């Protein structure tokens, strides 16, 4: 969830840069967001999602969220995204919605389902 706060912060900064017509800042921030999202989504998939999957929990939701991860990673890496303001704003909204679903639905569910040992393992895990 800390990563979601970071993603939310960069998303907000992109929105402000667009609102304030500071367009020269948008490509760098968009690249930053794409890199954070790649790292974060792969961490979720290899960690939290894998833990739930192994226990047969929330399997359909995980398949759906992983599809969304792939689509968001592809869209964030698309050439010219930073210059397509309408598409970028739409993508930022999709990203915010995705994080909201995980924060409000999946993570609370996982907190109930996974034993403490899993959370310790997840907290120290990193993705190569
Ligand atoms: Fe996610």
DSSP string, the chain: -HHHHHHHHHHHHHHHHHHTT-GGGHHHHHHHHHHHHHHHHHHHIIIIIHHHHHTT-SHHHHHHHHHHHHHHHHHHT-TTGGG-HHHHHHHHHHHHHHHHHIIIIIHHHHHHHS-HHHHHHHHH----
- The per-residue pLDDT for range 75-103, each reduced to its tens digit, is 999 999 999 999 999 999 999 999 999 99
pLDDT band at 127 (very low <50, low <70, confident <90, very high): low
* Ligand 1: centre distance to CA 112 (Å): 18
Read off the pTM: 0.89
Judged against a pLDDT cut of 90, whether residue 105 lies above it is answered with: yes
* Ligand 1: centre distance to CA 50 (Å): 13
- The per-residue pLDDT for range 1-55, each reduced to its tens digit, is 678 899 999 999 999 999 999 999 999 999 999 999 999 999 999 999 999 999 9
């Amino acid at each position: 969830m800390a990563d979601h706060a970071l993603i939310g912060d960069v998303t907000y900064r992109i929105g402000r840069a667009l609102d304030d017509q500071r367009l020269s800042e948008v490509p760098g921030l968009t690249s930053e967001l794409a890199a954070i999202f790649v790292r974060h989504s792969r961490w979720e998939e290899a960690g939290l999602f894998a833990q739930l999957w192994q226990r047969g929990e929330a399997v359909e939701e995980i398949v759906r969220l992983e599809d969304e991860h792939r689509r968001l990673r592809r869209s964030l890496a698309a050439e010219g995204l930073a210059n397509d303001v309408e598409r970028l704003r739409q993508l930022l909204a999709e990203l915010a919605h995705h994080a909201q679903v995980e924060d409000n639905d999946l993570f609370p569910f996982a907190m109930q389902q996974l034993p403490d040992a899993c959370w310790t393992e997840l907290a120290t895990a990193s993705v190569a």
